[in-house]
Amino acid sequence: VWMVEQDYQGQKVLVPVVYLASNSLQLRGNGALIAGGNVELNATNAMSNQGVIAGADVSVTAGNLLNQGRISGTGSVAL
C-alpha cells in the first residue's frame, strides 16, 4: 500500500493505493480469496478450502473441514 496524493472535491488528499506484481493480479482456478473484517462460514456437512480465508476475526464451522489452503486472522480464528 502506497499513499498517493489526489484531488478530491477541490482538495488534495492522500489515498491508499495497492500495488501488486503483475503475476498476482488474477485469482487462479485452483483456489479463491475470501476476505473481510469479520468472516463467518458455516457448513452443515463438509467444507474444503484450497484458497485463502482471511479477516480480522475468522470463524469456520463444519462437520468436516479439509484445509489445503490458508486460514488466517489478525484477531481471533475459530475452527
Q: What is the pLDDT of residue 26?
A: 58
This prediction's pTM: 0.60
3-27 tens-digit pLDDT: 888 888 899 998 888 766 555 545 5
DSSP labels, the chain: -EEEEEEETTEEEEEEE----GGGSS--TT--EEEEEEEEEEEEEEEEE-SEEEEEEEEEEEEEEEESSEEEESS-EE-
Q: Is the pLDDT of residue 50 over 60?
A: yes
Q: Which residue has the higher pLDDT, 68 or 25?
A: 68
pLDDT of 14 reads 87
Q: How confident is the model at residue 76 (pLDDT cuts 50, 70, 90)?
A: very high
Domain ranges of the chain: 25-79
